[in-house]
Amino acid sequence: MDTGTHAGSLHAVLRDALLDSRQRWRDLVEMAADLVWETDAEGRLTFISPDPVLGWSAGLLLGMPAETLLAPDADGSAPFSPFRVQRQRRGVRTWLRRADGTLACMSFAGVPLIGPDGTIIGARGVARDVTEEEERNGALAASLRREALTDAILQEARTEVLADGMLTGSARALLPAIGAAGVAVLRRTGNDLAPLVKVGETLPGLIALAGASLARHPGPDVRTADGPDGRPLILAPAFQPGQGEGVLMLWRGPGGRAWDEEEHALVRAAADVIGIMLAHQALQAEMFRQARTDPLTGLMNRRAFLEELSRRLDRLDRERQPGALLYLDLDNFKPVNDRLGHEAGDAALRAAAQMLRGAVRPTDLVARLGGDEFALWLDGADERIAVLRADRLLADAPLSLAHVSLDAETPISFSIGIAVRDSAAREDLSHMMMRADTAMYAAKRGGKSAWSVGPG
């Protein structure tokens, strides 16, 4: 073998070894990475593997700016480019566009390519597809954020006893958690919305805007709208088990960032908790109503009447206004109850309550104190007005209560005791009640179906 033949054979061996080495490293890199790339000084792709990559053919991508593959950030701005690095970078996560329009999250490692003169002439690197991992992390982060938000709402609620306070505390917790300028909890009745709680910045017209949005897009889904000055508004139905529907409404300041999908989920989760609180509020309101209401007649009971009357007296003293208390006892009620039974007696009590309810102004009070005793409080009434009202009741009773009386000879009517209160005297409630009660028994002893004014 001559020298030329030997040199040619050695060259071929070295070339094959080099090619084998390059193929070996290429195979290893492609097995370890989902994207291998190289760019020139202008950021154009000069090498890319595998082929195709992310649905794109390598032939189409070569020579194109690498930034063509980058997906814009959520706010529309240009993202950081891992294809242009000034130093070695590892673990840089960036979203790329697939050929079908979907996105892939890639974890990049890259190094700059340095020319003979020390300048950067391009870059080289690899990337790994971490889309599933990123989505799992995002779902976990969203779940943790929803859990943290629910905990914040419940923590506020734990410090309150009444549902109104719970709602206010929950709305207050939502402001920083979701980045809102204002929060409102509304109750929906038909097409009308009534605000129950409002926290933070308040704006006129938002409730009307919310109502219009709900009318256009009915249903359980979270919805958004543009408020005044371009304020992003978000609405979520807050269903109350067995009660109906409330609405959770949040808004940002002028030109604020639009609500993203994660915030939609957060608002939905918050609305679910708010819905339970609204149901609790309705239950508390019903319990409060029952505690203050006579179950047979629907009038205020003795406790509620005395509590409200005590507040009225304080106000009338400040305003130097009079008032009149009327104690009423049903005449000829016992024969109805004894001869016709308790059902007939109950009917007579309900009829008397209905008559008294119709005899007072909305500002007056009417109550059943117990048994067949009732009371009226006439706001601002002096003795003349109180006597006129008593005369009218006695005149109307025989006809209004004839259908529940035993017979025409024993008609149900009233014995009425009147106590007029002069604000200047600052008479206490118990003394005024004693005067009215004494006057009522005086009227009954005088022959029934009569009134009497207690001495001042």
- Give Cα separations from 309 to 303, 355, 417 (angstroms): 10, 21, 17
pLDDT band at 134 (very low <50, low <70, confident <90, very high): confident
Which residue has better confidence, 35 or 255? Answer: 35
Strand ranges (DSSP E) for 287-430? 323-331, 365-370, 373-379, 413-421
Give the mean model confidence (pLDDT) for residues 265-273. Answer: 84
Q: Mapping DSSP to helix (H, G, I), strand (E, B) and coil, where does residue 404 land? A: helix
CA–CA–CA angle 231, 232, 236 (5° rounding):
135
DSSP conformation class of 338: I
- Give Cα separations from 342 to 75, 276, 345, 356, 369 (angstroms): 74, 41, 5, 21, 18
Domain ranges of the chain: 33-129, 137-291, 302-453
Inform me whether the pLDDT recorded for 299 exceeds 90.
yes
- Give Cα separations from 233 to 29, 77, 86, 190, 256 (angstroms): 49, 23, 43, 21, 10
CA–CA–CA angle 179, 183, 184 (5° rounding):
165
- Give Cα separations from 255 to 74, 251, 334 (angstroms): 16, 11, 73
Inform me whether the pLDDT recorded for 171 exceeds 70.
yes
Q: Mean pLDDT score of the chain, rounded to an integer? A: 83
Is 33-129's fold the same as 302-453's? no
Give the mean model confidence (pLDDT) for residues 112-130. Answer: 91
Topology at the third CATH level for domain 302-453: Alpha-Beta Plaits (3.30.70)
* Beta pairing, strands 182-189 & 244-251: antiparallel
CATH number of 33-129: 3.30.450.20
pLDDT of residue 366: 96
pLDDT in tens, 314-339: 888 888 889 999 999 999 999 998 88
pLDDT band at 135 (very low <50, low <70, confident <90, very high): confident
pLDDT in tens, 376-427: 999 989 999 999 999 999 999 989 999 998 888 889 999 999 999 987 777 8
Alpha helices in 41-80 (DSSP H): 58-61
pLDDT of residue 355: 95
Inform me whether the pLDDT recorded for 182 exceeds 60.
yes
pTM score > 0.75 for this model?
A: no
pLDDT band at 184 (very low <50, low <70, confident <90, very high): confident
- Rounded distance between C-alpha atoms, residue 369 and residue 358, angstroms: 18
- Assign domain 137-291 one CATH number from 1.10.300.10, 2.60.40.1240, 2.20.130.10, 3.30.450.40: 3.30.450.40
Give the mean model confidence (pLDDT) for residues 140-159. Answer: 63
- Rounded distance between C-alpha atoms, residue 164 and residue 162, angstroms: 6
pLDDT of residue 64: 93
